[in-house]
């Protein structure tokens, strides 16, 4: 009987604390990284087991450029570097990242503890590109003051939106994830009358009720197939910031079964759609990072400790990139 591979905890519920770590793998660091990835579920269990109320989970993403250095065999069909977007007013940069650790819990100390264990194992083998601690803010609001996450899919709709199936059988059970770190100009945003903020977002600020506003953030991110079916992603955006430094941001994270859906949303936001030149949320929010990762199944990660991948030379001479070893 065929068993379905186990996905990582992509679908775990939204939490109030998170830690986002984006790293690049230093030359020669690959064996250490592979061993850590194979041990990660055990480390997460060790820290989370005696704090069940903490709902600790971790999801690892692997970037396009490091894939062959870490894994043998085929490559996920749609894994590629994050495509930079240059609109008439705003730019979505593409920034480095070989590994993403998306750590979630209801308590910041658990995220910190797991992040510390991961870095204790990886230090000397990786370079930290970005580290962001996100927090739940008021009643699930972003720092622009709006409730964020309402239209996230749930149940089977979420599974259908984020878990790869028969379209890429070698990687069934996996997902793609795109992250972007946004910094807000909150002074400028707060100078806008609330009615104008609501037109930009497409929802009422206090009640969170959707309003019909052409060109709003909600409208630009509502993507439909030619047959009218809506294409969803699963977001777990987190506010972050530092009042002392005057830094206020949203860490965007979107999981999907294909990166094409999230990329289309981003094209609408940065390049516009029809008469709309761009998402006005961007007049108050600057994207400073942008990276795409593949999220392998938990089974694939667990197996990583078993066999080292072929070296670049071996891959070249044997054409191993074409072989399917799993």
> Distances from the Cα of 242 to the Cαs of 5, 58, 143, 185, 248, in angstroms?
40, 24, 12, 13, 7
Min dist CB 119 to ligand HEM, Å, is 27
- Residues in binding contact with ligand HEM, number by CB under 6 A: 27
Min dist CB 66 to ligand HEM, Å, is 23
- In angstroms, rounded to a whole number, what is the distance separating the alpha carbons of residues 98 and 67? 8
250 binding ligand HEM? (CB under 6 A)? yes
130 binding ligand HEM? (CB under 6 A)? no
Greatest CA span in the chain, whole angstroms?
Answer: 64
> Distances from the Cα of 144 to the Cαs of 16, 44, 107, 225, 238, in angstroms?
17, 33, 23, 30, 12
Catalytic residue among 130, 148, 236, 279: 148
Which range of residues in 63-71, 74-82, 129-137, 258-266 is near ligand HEM by CB under 6 A? 258-266
113 binding ligand HEM? (CB under 6 A)? no
Which range of residues in 2-10, 13-21, 81-89, 231-239 is near ligand HEM by CB under 6 A? 231-239
**Cβ nearer to ligand HEM, comparing 30 with 142:** 142
In the list 90, 104, 181, 217, the residue contacting ligand HEM (rule: CB under 6 A) is 217
Q: Which of 19, 56, 90, 54 has the alpha carbon at shortest distance from 240?
A: 19
**What is the dihedral angle through the alpha carbons of 256, 104, 20, 171, rounded to the nearest 10 degrees?**
-30
Tell me the β-bridge partners of 256.
176
Instruction: Return the residue matching tokens 């775990």.
Output: 12
Residue 148 annotated among the catalytic residues of the structure: yes
Which range of residues in 74-82, 144-152, 189-197, 292-300 is near ligand HEM by CB under 6 A? 144-152
Q: Which stretches of the chain bind ligand HEM, using CB under 6 A?
A: 142, 144, 146-151, 180, 182, 201, 203, 217-218, 221-222, 233, 235, 237, 250, 252, 254, 262, 265-266, 281, 285
């Amino acid at each position: 009987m065929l068993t379905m591979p186990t996905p990582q905890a992509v679908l775990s519920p939204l939490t109030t604390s998170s830690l986002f770590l984006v790293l690049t793998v230093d030359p020669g660091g690959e064996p250490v990284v592979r061993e850590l990835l194979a041990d990660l579920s055990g480390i997460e269990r060790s820290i989370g087991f005696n704090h069940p109320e903490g709902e600790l989970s971790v999801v690892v993403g692997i970037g396009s450029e490091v894939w062959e250095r870490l894994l043998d065999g085929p490559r996920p069909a749609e894994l590629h570097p994050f495509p930079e977007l240059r609109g008439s007013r705003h730019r979505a940069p593409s920034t480095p990242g070989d590994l993403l650790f998306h750590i979630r819990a209801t308590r910041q100390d658990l995220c910190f503890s797991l992040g510390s264990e991961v870095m204790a194992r990886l230090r000397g083998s990786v370079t930290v590109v970005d580290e962001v601690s996100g927090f739940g803010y008021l009643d699930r609001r972003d720092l622009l003051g709006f409730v964020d996450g309402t239209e996230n899919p749930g149940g089977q709709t979420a599974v259908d939106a984020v878990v790869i199936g028969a379209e890429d059988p070698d990687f069934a059970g996996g997902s793609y994830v795109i992250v972007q770190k946004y910094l807000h100009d909150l002074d400028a945003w707060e100078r806008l009358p609330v009615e104008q903020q609501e037109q930009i977002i497409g929802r009422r600020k206090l009640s969170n009720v959707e309003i019909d506003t052409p060109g709003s953030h909600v409208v630009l991110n509502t993507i439909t197939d030619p047959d009218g079916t809506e294409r969803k992603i699963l977001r777990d955006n987190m506010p972050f910031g530092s009042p002392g430094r005057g830094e206020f941001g949203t860490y965007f994270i979107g999981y999907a079964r294909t990166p094409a859906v999230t990329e289309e949303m981003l094209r609408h936001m940065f390049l516009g759609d029809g008469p709309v030149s761009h998402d006005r949320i961007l007049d108050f929010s600057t994207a400073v990072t942008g990276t795409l990762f593949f999220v392998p199944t938990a089974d694939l990660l667990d197996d990583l400790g078993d066999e080292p991948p072929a070296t670049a030379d071996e891959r070249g001479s044997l054409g191993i990139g074409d072989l399917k070893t799993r």
